[in-house]
Structure 1
Amino acid sequence: METCLGLLLVLITLAIIHIVQSQDQQGFISLDCGLPTTEPSPYKETDTGLWFSSDATFTRSGKTGRIKENLEGNSKPYKTLRYFPDGLRNCYNLSVDKGRRYLVRATFVYRNYDGLNNGPVFDLYLGPNPWAEIDLRQVNDTGEEILHIPTSDSLQICLVKNGTTTPVISTLELRPMEKDAYITKSGSLKLFFRRYYSNSGSNIRYMRDVYDRTWVPFFMKEWKQISTTLQVDISNTYVPSQDAIKNAATPADTSAPLTIKWSSKNSDHQYYLYAHFAEIQDLQANETREFNLSLNGVQFYVPFVPRKLAVFTVLSRSPRTCNGGECNFQLIRTNRSTLPPLLNALEVYTAIQFLQSQTDESDVDAVKNITATYALSRINWQGDPCVPQQLRWDGLNCRNTDMSTPPRITTLNLTSSGLTGTIAAAIQSLTQLETLDLSNNNLTGEVPEFLSNMESLSVM
């Protein structure tokens, strides 16, 4: 009897652990792109504890490939990929909560999987807007990360050909974020870098960061490392990684400023900075640490005293620019400070404006329903139906008055498309439709009355 009770308690404990872990990843989408159908999905990635799933149900196209060379460490999600030899635009569709901020991360590993020694170059789109150019000619792998608020309940990540090479993708990840964090004047935030300051260690991810942000260690020879084994209170809006905040850099020359430099070929970049500080040394009664913050000589925050074993985030509420693309972020000791400045972690983003509105939601829903009704399968019917114009779906014309106004579908041409059954009721939801062509199909039944009630429809 005692043995049975013991076994029952073990099973209950395991069930609770599983529930807690599932809750921890609530809202996470982690796609292993190109995962073969013969392999388990989902599976638990052992380094992070993240559950990765096949991408097969999130995209309608592409083929699966496998990296031939051995990758160091446990990197199962990066050993397979999906490549897209057909069509100009191939997209993933992710269900999201409209108006919520998400971290979106995509990684691309080429490593000559196809034996051609020809790394691809292609564009990455977020909905109808360009996000980044992916260039794998000189590197084996790369990635992009953005903080973005979707304007609909569907987020489309698209790989778009801009030449003759074949786009590839290895992983696609989505993480819901705290709504009050990373607020901008306008636009989304494209990651420039996210560092914690340590002269040892490895990248930090989930479960050591609740949002699965990647923190990369960084250190300079003119700095001095300080660290603590004590717990640091990280419970502010940004919840930076505990393991990152337990480390910090100070200048080895205690009278010198702590200087962080970076540069960009784009001198017009607008930056948002999030500097995370915590006093992790046990200061004596006669010791103080106080410093000013500046970016390219312009005061950023003055004066600042880190909180003992508690994180405080200093941030830019408006975007900052750097003349000539050269940025110089300095922490400068004040006259009354007895200790040099410190910095635990720093996130730098560039503001990116997605100016093109998505096609009207009701039109998108209608054309999706029409697609489902007739089981249409067209390679270019992916992504936004109307924009960008050069990628507009075959058989559609749209009215696109300006970038801030959602385009409307005005023409639907499904001639010679092998349609069967009756005329789809979803057509009546295209309220701005002017031209409809359903000729040369095998449709049956009467012409529905709703067509005569569509005020804009003039040609059929």
Structure 2
Amino acid sequence: MQVAATTWLLFVSSVLVLAAHVASAVSNEPFAIRISCGAREDIRTKPTNTLWYRDFGYTGGRYTNASRTSSIVPPLKTLRHFPLSDGPENCYNINRIPNGHYAVRIFFALVADADLQNEPVFDISVDGTLTYSMKPGWSNHEDQSFMEALIFVKKRSLCVCFHSTGHGDPSILSIEILQVDVNSYNYGRPRSNLMVLRTAKRLSCGSGKAAFDEDYNGDHWGGDRFWLGALSFSQGSDQSISTEQSIAEASLPPNFYPKKLYQSAIISTDRQPDLTFEIDVDPSKNYSIWFHFAEIDPRVTNEEERVFDILVNGDVIFEKVDIIRMTGEGHTALVLNRTVSVSGRTLTIILHPTKGYAIINAIEVLEIIPSELRTLAEEVSTLQTLKASLGLPLRLGWNGDPCVPQQHPWSGVDCQYDKKSVRWVIDGLGLDNQGLKGFLPSDISKLKHLESINLSGNSIQGSIPFSIGTIAGLQTLDLSYNQLNGSIPESLGRLKLLRILNLNGNLLSGRVPATLGGRPLHGASFNFTGNAGLCDIPGLPTCGPHLSIGAKVGIALGSLIAFLLFLVCLVCWWKRRQNILRTQKIAASREASYAKARTHFGRDVQMTKHSPQRSHDQSRIVTDDSPALLS
């Protein structure tokens, strides 16, 4: 029932995504998909009348009611949560997305059920790249109630996965996929399309309220970013200012920053000349920092009236910043960007004035995450076939990419990086004692990089696929203690690197291939015991004289000819028998007629003897006859 429902919902998802794409193309609007997780029908939310599609595209999980954690969370009433018993990895697979640059935002919420553990902590990956690891206490911080990242879609699909870490069941309120300008947030590094930019912090300075771009009347191509409000950096030692005057050069491509972002700011004072801002970050990472300025202070109208340096963790990254000089006039947006490496767990930004006071309108800190290389598509597809044919239990998961993120590989799957294909490949399967059933598909040979297969201690039925003998690098094959039947494929003898072969404890029969029988003499470890039908190697019964294929064909032809001769003889005998029976029948008929005639004659004689007239006549005849007649 669950499978049928999932299939139907995936079909619906494709239709919805295609419809959204067509609508976007017609209106020249950015492509957008918003999913209300756990919702069974489309929903629109106030005050913007935003459309949220019903839940689709998932690989598992369960519907339940949601408990919102903050005021910025969308007003949605349901969520989807993923119990660990259903698998450690669960994903949303969204297809038919136009290739391009997208902001992906995922909101979290708490399950509205006292019996379930609240505030789960889990990891999130996008297209195989570990993008975010949640922190304990996230439900008490508005800017930690969601994850946002900028990614490139290259194959018209997007896979968002949630990985259990043993601290509660992942619970997802909503997923948003919002197209942005293809050149947005280009931080000047080559091959930036191979990177993911995760939002570590977005801060609107001088504003005390958290807001999205839509609240700031921002352009849709900006991706509806979230800005956390900040009135002060140093508890009143600085001051906030604002203006209603329009800001020039603000809502421009490729980033489309809203004008309202520049209409408020924080300014340093005599009590605290430096403006200092600190955030906690992950160590040994690179961060792209974006600084937003507009000279909205009516006291500053000329160059050289406000000049300051910008330092990050003690290093000067911008020197002698003069907003009026760099923009040419006041109330004009200025954006500066720099990429820095952070070794510790704190990123400290200092604006140090050399003339006048420092000012800042907004700050963005984006973590730069190299995109993970994916697993070979053919091998991923083969593993999914294996999952279906062996009936893998839900607890194993097997959703998303088997090798990435590297922190969360699939259970029972070993990976290695293949330089030739520049992809991850599967070099080991270790699924022993997992309660597997079903059969081994012949497609397993498509995992051509396998070096080890261990499927022992399960209930796998059917025969051993002949194709396994084509996995040239296979060194270990353990299929012991299953319910495999049939014969051992001759192809296994072609595996020149095979050193361990355990087929014991099955229902196999027939001759063990001669190419395998001598291997143990050269250091290999083979085990065929516990198969009553196997024969012809030391420790097993003898199969009898070995016949070549030609001999077997000759015997088969001879047997056929003998059978045909026997059939011809049988037909001839049957026809002869029929002729004899027919002759006997005719003879019997004639004999019966002769016997009948004699019977009539005897009766007549008897009647004559007993008749007086006949006796007188007879005596008279005899008397008149000559003596010669009586002799």
Question: Which TM-score band (shorter chain)?
Answer: 0.7 to 0.9
Deviations 1:48-71 (A, max 9, x none): 44321123x211210111135897
Which among 255, 279, 289 is matched to residue 273 of structure 1?
289
**Post-superposition shift, 1:87?**
1.0
Q: Is the aligned partner of 1:238 residue 2:255?
A: yes
Q: Is the aligned partner of 1:352 residue 2:362?
A: no
Structure 2 vs 1, CA of residues 98 and 381 (structure 1 numbering), >3 Å: closer, same or farther? farther
Give the Cα separation in 2 of the matches to 1:208 and 1:365. Answer: 42
Contact 1:294/1:329, CA 8 A, preserved across alignment:
yes
Query: Which letter maps to 1:196?
Result: S
Give the Cα separation in 2 of the matches to 1:346 and 1:388. Answer: 30
Q: Which residue of 1 aligns with 2:200?
A: 192
Alignment gaps of 5+ in structure 1: 1-17
Q: Is the aligned partner of 1:218 residue 2:218?
A: no
**Post-superposition shift, 1:262?**
0.6
Q: Which residue of 2 aligns with 1:312?
A: 334
Structure 2 vs 1, CA of residues 73 and 411 (structure 1 numbering), >3 Å: closer, same or farther? closer
Give the Cα separation in 2 of the matches to 1:362 and 1:291. Answer: 58
Q: Which residue of 2 aligns with 1:156?
A: 159
SS at match of 1:328: strand
Give the Cα separation in 2 of the matches to 1:406 and 1:454. Answer: 19
Query: Which letter maps to 2:230?
Result: F
Q: Which residue of 2 aligns with 1:27?
A: 31
Summarize the alignment of residues 49-448 of structure 1 with structure 2, pairs less than 5 Å apart.
Answer: 49-55=49-55, 57-67=56-66, 75-77=74-76, 79-85=77-83, 86-95=86-95, 100-110=100-110, 113-116=113-116, 118-136=118-136, 139=139, 142-149=145-152, 152-163=155-166, 165-184=168-187, 185=189, 187-206=195-214, 208-210=218-220, 211-220=223-232, 221=236, 222-234=238-250, 235-253=252-270, 257=273, 259-264=275-280, 266-280=282-296, 289-295=305-311, 296-301=313-318, 302-306=320-324, 307=327, 308=329, 309-316=331-338, 318-321=339-342, 325-334=346-355, 340-354=357-371, 356-365=372-381, 367=383, 379=394, 380-387=397-404, 392-393=409-410, 398-401=415-418, 405-409=422-426, 418=438, 432=449
**Post-superposition shift, 1:30?**
1.6
- Greater length-normalized contact order (CA 8 Å, ≥ 6 residues apart): 1
Deviations 1:279-323 (A, max 9, x none): 34567876765423311443322333243443221000x324376
Deviations 1:252-296 (A, max 9, x none): 44x964513113264544332111223345678767654233114
Contact 2:351/2:358, CA 8 A, preserved across alignment:
no
Deviations 1:24-47 (A, max 9, x none): 763222221112x2xx31x33223
**Post-superposition shift, 1:236?**
4.3
SS at match of 1:240: coil
Deviations 1:148-171 (A, max 9, x none): 335654432222222252221112
Contact 1:122/1:160, CA 8 A, preserved across alignment:
yes
Give the Cα separation in 2 of the matches to 1:395 and 1:98. Answer: 34
SS at match of 1:230: coil
SS at match of 2:260: helix
Deviations 1:341-374 (A, max 9, x none): 43222111223345x52101343355557879x7
Structure 2 vs 1, CA of residues 217 and 174 (structure 1 numbering), >3 Å: closer, same or farther? same
- Is 20-29 or 272-281 further displaced after alignment? 20-29
Q: Which residue of 2 aligns with 1:15?
A: none
Query: Which letter maps to 2:263?
Result: K
Give the Cα separation in 2 of the matches to 1:404 and 1:212. Answer: 38
SS at match of 2:295: coil
Give the Cα separation in 2 of the matches to 1:292 and 1:386. Answer: 48
Query: Which letter maps to 1:166?
Result: D
Structure 2 vs 1, CA of residues 369 and 229 (structure 1 numbering), >3 Å: closer, same or farther? farther
Deviations 1:417-455 (A, max 9, x none): 5479xx78x778666578999x96689xxx99x999988
Query: Which letter maps to 1:109?
Result: A
- Is 295-304 or 398-407 further displaced after alignment? 398-407
**Post-superposition shift, 1:111?**
6.3
Contact 1:231/1:242, CA 8 A, preserved across alignment:
yes
SS at match of 1:149: strand
Contact 2:35/2:174, CA 8 A, preserved across alignment:
yes
Give the Cα separation in 2 of the matches to 1:124 and 1:74. Answer: 18
Structure 2 vs 1, CA of residues 150 and 417 (structure 1 numbering), >3 Å: closer, same or farther? farther
Structure of greater Rg:
2
**Post-superposition shift, 1:212?**
0.8
Give the Cα separation in 2 of the matches to 1:183 and 1:332. Answer: 28
Give the Cα separation in 2 of the matches to 1:117 and 1:399. Answer: 36
- Is 26-35 or 290-299 further displaced after alignment? 290-299
Query: Which letter maps to 1:305?
Result: I
**Post-superposition shift, 1:84?**
0.8
Give the Cα separation in 2 of the matches to 1:390 and 1:272. Answer: 24
Q: Which residue of 2 aligns with 1:44?
A: 44
Give the Cα separation in 2 of the matches to 1:199 and 1:390. Answer: 39
Structure 2 vs 1, CA of residues 53 and 110 (structure 1 numbering), >3 Å: closer, same or farther? same
Query: Which letter maps to 1:327?
Result: T
More helix by share: 2
SS at match of 1:162: strand
- Is 19-28 or 298-307 further displaced after alignment? 19-28
Give the Cα separation in 2 of the matches to 1:137 and 1:218. Answer: 21
**Post-superposition shift, 1:407?**
1.8
Query: Which letter maps to 2:33?
Result: I
Query: Which letter maps to 1:208?
Result: G
Query: Which letter maps to 2:337?
Result: L
Contact 1:256/1:332, CA 8 A, preserved across alignment:
no
